[in-house]
Amino acid sequence: MSIPPSITSGLDASELDSVEGRVDYDHVDFSYDDGERVLDDVTFTANPGETVGLVGPTGAGKSTICKLLPRLYDVTGGEIRVDGTDVRDLTVESLREHIGYVG
């Protein structure tokens, strides 16, 4: 429990005060520490009030896509935006306060 988190807010990160709810995955790539690419050039938009379903076989990256939004992991390429702001430019705390996630 004394290990510092690997994902932290940048020094110039801003607070996410209000959310309309648009989420953009823009050419997102992701690799775990072993370097094997799990996601390659994933691009989609979820608009406010819209329901998006991720369908695919075990190991296709569905859970990883969901874990990238609250920055449980950081993308290795591309960006994820909430209402036009890259999630890496927001404080981790304020971002996670606005996201509901059931795994």
Strands 37-46 and 85-86: unpaired
Residue 1 confidence (pLDDT)? 61
If one counts the domains in the chain, the total is: 1
- For the chain of 103 residues, list the mean pLDDT of each consecutive stretch of 10: 83 93 97 90 96 93 95 97 97 94 71
CATH code of the domain covering residue 57: 3.40.50.300
Residue 89 confidence (pLDDT)? 97
Q: Is residue 15 part of a domain?
A: no
Q: Is residue 77 part of a domain?
A: yes
Q: Is residue 45 part of a domain?
A: yes
Supply the range of the domain harboring residue 74: 23-97
**DSSP three-state, residue 28:** strand
Q: Is residue 32 part of a domain?
A: yes
